[in-house]
Amino acid sequence: MLGGPGSGKGTQCKLIQDKFDFVHISAGDCLREYLIKCEKGEVDTKHQAVVEDCINNGKIVPVQITLELMKIKMENEIEKRKKQEKEEEAKTGEATNPQEQAEKKSFSFDVFDDTIKLKNDNLDHYHEKLRYQNGIHENKEVVEILKKNKFEQKAKYKFIIDGFPRNYDNFDGWMSVIGNYAYVHLCLFLYCDEDTMIKRCMNRGLMCGRVDDNMDTLRKRFETHKNGCMPIINIFLNENKCIFINANKNIEEVWNDIQYVFTNM
């Protein structure tokens, strides 16, 4: 799930996790949790200065660091679920029969290079086709993308990745590190007016004290989002894997649209 600061990614990802049995992996949360553990002396602090500088200045953390933390969390979650499955088997006496998962490529290309970047330039005209004011089901383009990406079989371990990849470097890193580890089914893009996102972020900053929810950092984050994230959206658009979600609406209305996507995958 991608979207600007304050578009509601974290809120909606938690709802998805609770209702649809996905594990929520937030790139930002992984980084913030890492800094907390650094302060407590629980982890190696070799990346602390870099991560702090990036978060405080609205920059993107080097991809190797982010992916290292994300993959650790994904692996830990899978191990946790495997343990739960064994405990359930012990209680019921019934073994879980894992479904054979056919190998499937996430993208039409194997190597992310300049030709792929060039192909994804200047797609702004297509963005408008995926925007909608009312219910998502009224957008024919969205419905068509859902049809093309219908689940052929249910995955055993499902993740919703929150706020990653944010630029070409992130995407290239994902392809290299996690490309064969997880199949990418869809990208949800929460599009939202900047004024709305600023208001939400400032309110969040007052309530929970996030250090990056201040106007100076927000301006940098919005610029980073525009320059880095939008080209990634174009990649998913070209792959027929991007669903636009109107995040200007309230939480319940956005959640209704997202539920429509997940129940029709």
**Quick check: is 193 in a domain?**
yes
One-letter amino acid of 221: R
More confident residue, 243 or 134: 243
Q: Taking the CA atoms of 3, 8, 12 and 13 in sequence, report the sign of the dihedral they define.
A: positive
Matching residue, tokens 């200065």: 49
DSSP strand pairing (2-3 vs 187-191): parallel
**Quick check: is 110 in a domain?**
no
**Quick check: is 112 in a domain?**
no
**Quick check: is 118 in a domain?**
no
Q: pLDDT above 70 covers what percent of the chain?
A: 89
Task: Check: pTM over 0.85? Answer yes or no.
Answer: no
**Quick check: is 103 in a domain?**
no
One-letter amino acid of 31: L
Answer yes or no: is pLDDT of 254 > 90: yes
* Residues of the domain holding 187: 9-90+123-264
For residue 9, with 0-12 CB atoms within 10 Å meaning exposed, 13-18 middle and 19 or more buried, which class applies? buried
CA distance 53 to 55: 6
**Quick check: is 206 in a domain?**
yes
Digit-coded pLDDT (tens) for 13-45: 999 999 998 999 998 889 999 999 999 999 999
Q: How many domains does the structure of the chain reveal?
A: 1
| Across 62-66, 118-122, 187-191, 260-264, least confident range | 118-122
Here the CATH number for the domain that contains residue 165 is 3.40.50.300
Digit-coded pLDDT (tens) for 74-132: 999 999 988 988 888 888 877 655 555 556 788 888 878 888 777 766 556 567 778 88
Q: Spell out the SS3 assignment of 220-261.
A: HHHHHHHHHHHHHHHHHHHCCCEEEEECCCCHHHHHHHHHHH
**Quick check: is 222 in a domain?**
yes
**Quick check: is 175 in a domain?**
yes
CB 108 within 8 A of CB 239: yes
pLDDT of residue 251: 94
